[in-house]
Amino acid sequence: MPTKSIDSSSQVKRLLRQAGLKAKKRLGQHFLVDRSVLGKIIHAAELSPQDTVVEVGPGLGVLTSALAQKTGKVIAVELDAELAERLKERMLSQPNVQVVNADILKVDLPHLIGPDTCYKVVANLPYYITSPILRYFMENQMKPSLMVVMVQKEVAESIVARSGKMSLLAVSLHVYSRPIVVARVPARSFYPQPKVDSAVVRFDILPEPAIKVADMDGFFDVVRRGFSAPRKQLRNSLANGYGVKPAKIDPLLEHARIEPQRRAETLSLEEWGRLYKSVAAEEDMGKC
């Protein structure tokens, strides 16, 4: 028998009150109460009874219950011990739900899911830790096949931006996936209401990274240094990142065929790849 759905602020308030709980701002707890948004998330995830889904921050289980009805297994990872305990009680009628009280960033995925298990990530991510969670899954050796997550609208816009407006986060995610915004979600869709609107983003994970480099960690090190002073010209930002004079950066940019006056946000993945190879060939830079 499916768990009774939660689809209004009054129901969320009642459940929290009955459990003696309150939404915790420090954990970014905002509970989804709009069933239409829930449907868009489920549709975007293209779920089947054969799927294993990892949900981060399930809270009161609004999304968890819907996922359980569509998939073979849901692993709901909740940091808040009190919420995790209540969720276990609510999900007793859905045996395909496993509630884990843990910090997702400290979880051993092969141990949690199974070393050879194909899985998807579907979640309403806590705002305060969105970027680390996205990078955790994207850079993990055991990557998901698909991710559908709710994030702040501004973060979503930054994630899907193309060359010309790419942030450090966008670069790191475009290397491993093709992200698209599938729905915009007003603040009133949550209780308590956040101060900003949200958006649902779907990440189609690439079978291979979008760029081919010898050392991915080294590549991202160059990108991070390039974004160390993002409002400055790239030559100055890189000089700042490496702690050298701009004159030392000029030949590297010339070799990579990148104009030194450009900013980091304007570079394409291909250009970042060329810049990495240029830096990797410079022995002194490799020691910075």
pLDDT digits (tens, 9 = 90+) for 168-193: 999 999 999 999 999 999 998 887 77
Does the pLDDT of residue 230 top 60, yes or no?
Answer: yes
Are both 180 and 115 inside the same structural domain?
Answer: yes
Query: HSE-up of 105 (CA within 13 Å, CB side)?
Result: 9
pLDDT at 33: 79
Asked whether residue 143 is assigned to any structural domain, the reply reads: yes
Does the pLDDT of residue 19 top 90, yes or no?
Answer: no
Are both 146 and 281 inside the same structural domain?
Answer: no
Asked whether residue 44 is assigned to any structural domain, the reply reads: yes
Report the Cα 246 to chain-centroid distance in Å.
Answer: 34
pLDDT at 189: 87
Range of the domain at 115: 9-205
User: How far apart, in Å, are the Cα atoms of 245 and each of 53, 137, 254, 279?
Assistant: 49, 36, 16, 15
Return contacts of 263-266, CB within 8 angstroms, 24+ apart: 263/230, 263/231, 263/232, 263/233, 263/234, 263/237, 264/168, 264/223, 264/226, 264/227, 264/230, 264/234, 264/237, 265/164, 265/165, 265/166, 265/167, 265/230, 266/163, 266/164, 266/166
Segment 274-283 mean pLDDT: 90
Are both 45 and 138 inside the same structural domain?
Answer: yes
* Termini Cα distance of the chain: 60
**For residue 194, is the peptide bond before it cis, meaning its omega torsion is within 30 degrees of 0?**
no
pLDDT at 208: 95
Asked whether residue 4 is assigned to any structural domain, the reply reads: no
Report the Cα 145 to chain-centroid distance in Å.
Answer: 14
Are both 237 and 190 inside the same structural domain?
Answer: no
Question: 77 pLDDT band (50/70/90 cuts)?
Answer: very high
Which CATH number do you get for residue 226? Answer: 1.10.8.100
Asked whether residue 2 is assigned to any structural domain, the reply reads: no
3-state secondary structure of 233: coil
Does the pLDDT of residue 11 top 80, yes or no?
Answer: no
The whole-angstrom separation of Cα 109 and Cα 95 is 21
Asked whether residue 210 is assigned to any structural domain, the reply reads: no
Are both 157 and 229 inside the same structural domain?
Answer: no
Work out the percent of the chain whose per-residue pLDDT is above 90: 74
Asked whether residue 23 is assigned to any structural domain, the reply reads: yes
Query: HSE-up of 218 (CA within 13 Å, CB side)?
Result: 18
Question: 7 pLDDT band (50/70/90 cuts)?
Answer: very low
Are both 52 and 131 inside the same structural domain?
Answer: yes
The whole-angstrom separation of Cα 109 and Cα 8 is 33
Asked whether residue 250 is assigned to any structural domain, the reply reads: yes
Average pLDDT, the chain: 89
Domain closes at, from 145, 171, 205:
205
Q: Reading across the β-sheet that carries 177-185, which strands appear in turn?
A: 97-101, 73-78, 52-56, 120-124, 146-152, 198-205, 177-185
Segment 117-143 mean pLDDT: 94
The whole-angstrom separation of Cα 24 and Cα 18 is 16
Query: HSE-up of 279 (CA within 13 Å, CB side)?
Result: 28
If one counts the domains in the chain, the total is 2
Q: Which residue has the tokens 């304007």?
A: 266
Does the pLDDT of residue 226 top 50, yes or no?
Answer: yes
Domain closes at, from 173, 205, 237:
205
Are both 101 and 52 inside the same structural domain?
Answer: yes
Asked whether residue 152 is assigned to any structural domain, the reply reads: yes
Beta bridge partners of 232: none
Segment 249-257 mean pLDDT: 96
Are both 278 and 150 inside the same structural domain?
Answer: no
pLDDT at 35: 83
3-state secondary structure of 72: coil
pLDDT at 34: 84
Domain closes at, from 146, 179, 205:
205
Are both 145 and 268 inside the same structural domain?
Answer: no
The whole-angstrom separation of Cα 266 and Cα 245 is 22
Using CB atoms within 10 Å of the CB of residue 216, give its burial: 0 to 12 exposed, 13 to 18 middle, 19+ buried: middle
Are both 114 and 233 inside the same structural domain?
Answer: no
Are both 187 and 86 inside the same structural domain?
Answer: yes
Which CATH number do you get for residue 139? Answer: 3.40.50.150
Question: 27 pLDDT band (50/70/90 cuts)?
Answer: very low
Confirm whether pTM is higher than 0.75: yes
Segment 252-257 mean pLDDT: 97
Are 120 and 54 a contacting pair, CB within 8 Å?
A: yes
Are both 39 and 167 inside the same structural domain?
Answer: yes
